[in-house]
Each structure stands twice: as structure tokens, then as C-alpha cells.
Amino acid sequence: MPSNNNNIIAWLKLGFGSLVIGSFVWLMTTGWTPPGILGETIRHNQENDIDASPFFYGDVENMTELEEGLQVVVK
């Protein structure tokens, strides 16, 4: 029987964690920002229409030049 209790606890933890993450995502999609300094950057970006998506870090304009340079270094 102890394994059944462990399974139930594991499912409850998974459900609670999913609920917390889902609630956070839902709040972010409504435009809500954390109070105080925690949400200051988000509010600044919204007020100034700044797109701060995570893809910003993957968007490289001169990728072909960088790849060619890397091939030279690897050889």
C-alpha cells in the first residue's frame, strides 16, 4: 500500500505544479504585471511598445558570416 500513497502524492504534486504554472501563464496573457520593482521592466516595455520576446536572443542578422567564420576556426 505505501506505493499507492506515493503515487497519489506524486500526482497531487504534479497537479498542483501544473495549476501554479498555468495560473502564472494565464495572468501574464491578461496583461497583469507583478507589483513594484518586479514588474517595472514589464510595464516599461509595454508602455514603450518594446518587444522583448525570448526569440530576440536567437535572431542574428549575419548568421551566414558567423557560420563561415566558425568553419574557418574549426578547420
Question: How many domains does the chain divide into?
Answer: 1
pLDDT at 20: 97
First to last CA, the chain: 61
65 — pLDDT class (breaks 50, 70, 90):
confident
Kindly report, residue by residue over 1-58, the tens digit of the pLDDT.
467 888 999 999 999 999 999 998 998 888 888 889 888 988 898 899 887 777 666 6
Q: What CA–CA distance (Å, rounded) separates 38 from 36?
A: 5
**Cβ partners under 8 Å of residue 51, min gap 6:** 45
Could you tell me the residue range of the domain that residue 43 belongs to?
A: 2-74
pLDDT at 57: 65
Cell numbers 574549426 label which residue?
A: 74
Cα dihedral 62, 66, 68, 74 in deg (nearest 10): -170
pTM listed for this prediction = 0.50
